[in-house]
Amino acid sequence: MFRERIREYYDALTPGFRKLADFIMLHTLDAAFLTASELARRVGVDPATVVRFSQEIGYSGYRELSREIKRYVRDQVTATYREAKEAKTEEDVINVILDNTQQHLQQFRTTETQSLAQATEILKGASRIWITGEFTSYDIAAYLAKSLYPTIGIPAIHFQPSISETAAVVAQMKEGEALLALVIGIPGLDTGYAIQMARQKGLKTVCLTNSGTVLPAREADVTVIIPTRSPIAVASYNLSLLLAGVVWEAIVAGQVELAAESFTTVHSNMSEILDLRAQTEDYEVPKAD
């Protein structure tokens, strides 16, 4: 098994080989779908180094190593699906899903916490945050944007990465701002183009995604990989939603007093609106036909 071979040879590997070994061990799912050239580009080495690395740990070449990685990933996914299929009750199914989410969270804490910290630092230092995503990721983008501005006053604007919206938004972007792209369960090509254009304007870019091989992940300054393997037949968004909240809390954590003041003001305004409602005469409220 490739994992055992990597552990066996690791201490004797060159720095370039260790970079490859670390990537394969930490991002096995991504590695299963990368060619030698794509893996080399992700890690920052030349393709010949990928071949020599494979031979160094006992394979004839990268093709043989890649086949074993694919087999491992397939077996892991199959085992997880089988566990869900064999669940007898709804409670069993829920426990399988919760166990899967817990495993994802532990994996994330082991491999991606540093990247998420770098992403948060970029967002906290931005004068304005643009947030984008396609399909369901757009709804998460809207949630984050609507949560940040009223809480700590950071202008946060969400947009769909369509041709017209991206063109209009990029025209407003300024150096010192940041773009957060959410790419969960989709290729996100339009999001990738938005990142490319934002970087040309001097913005720092962050991508939260479940695949390190999609265009936005390759283009962003910082990419955070979110595990989404699920015990059912569709990708799991549990951790994606959780981490959206973590990003929000991490940004707000740096300005606790301002956030507390904002919440106090919002609740005060809500109380005032309730009082106004109570004072409104019945005849001013439209009646249903």
Q: Is there a domain that residue 95 lies in?
A: no
pLDDT digits (tens, 9 = 90+) for 230-242: 766 666 788 888 8
| Interaxial angle between packed helices 62-85 and 90-111, expressed in degrees from 0 to 180 and rounded to the nearest 10 | 150
Q: What is the pLDDT of residue 258?
A: 66
Q: Residue 241 has what pLDDT?
A: 87
**Closest C-alpha to 145, from 269, 266, 244:** 244
Would you give the distance in Å from CA 11 to the centre of its chain? 31
| CATH for 197 | 3.40.50.10490
Query: Are 78 and 156 part of one and the same domain?
Result: no
Residue 96 belongs to some domain of the structure: no
Q: Higher confidence at residue 180 or residue 25?
A: 180
| Whether the Cβ atoms of residue 169 and residue 159 lie closer than 8 Å to each other | yes
Residues 67 and 123 in one domain: no
* pLDDT on residue 52: 95
Question: In terms of residue numbers, what domain contains 225?
Answer: 111-256
Residue 84 pLDDT exceeds 60: no
Q: With bands split at pLDDT 50, 70 and 90, how would you rate the model's confidence at 33?
A: confident
Place of tokens 């690791």: 10
Q: What is the pTM of this model?
A: 0.67
Confidence of residue 23 (pLDDT cuts 50, 70, 90): confident
Q: Is residue 137 part of a domain?
A: yes
**Quick one: 29 and 129 in the same domain?**
no
Query: CATH code at 80?
Result: 1.10.10.10
Per-residue pLDDT at 77 exceeds 90 = no
Average pLDDT for the chain: 85
pLDDT single digits (tens) 140-168: 999 888 888 666 667 899 999 999 999 99
Q: pLDDT at residue 218 above 70?
A: yes
- Please tell me the predicted confidence (pLDDT) of residue 181: 96
Q: Which segments of the chain are extended strands (E)?
A: 129-133, 156-159, 178-183, 204-209, 222-225
State yes or no: pLDDT of 54 exceeds 90: yes
**Percent of the chain predicted with pLDDT > 90:** 39
Specify whether 24 is located in the same domain as 125.
Answer: no
pLDDT band at 190 (very low <50, low <70, confident <90, very high): very high
220's tokens: 């962003």
Helices (H) and strands (E) in the chain, counts: 14, 5
Question: Do 137 and 178 have their domain in common?
Answer: yes
The share of the chain scoring above pLDDT 70, in percent, equals 88
Same domain for 80 and 118? no
Q: Is the pLDDT of residue 82 over 80?
A: no
Rg, the chain, Cα only: 23
Residue 80 pLDDT more than 80? no
pLDDT on residue 141: 92
Do 28 and 159 fall into the same domain?
Answer: no
Number of domains in the chain: 2
Question: Is the pLDDT reported for residue 28 higher than 60?
Answer: yes
- Same domain for 146 and 48, yes or no, is no
Average pLDDT over residues 179-205: 94
Whether pLDDT at 270 is above 60: yes
Mean pLDDT to the nearest integer, 5-18: 90
Q: Are residues 251 and 115 in the same domain?
A: yes
- On whether residue 29 sits in a domain, the answer given is yes
Please tell me the least confidently modeled range out of 17-26, 59-68, 246-255, 261-270.
Answer: 261-270
Per-residue pLDDT at 122 exceeds 80: yes
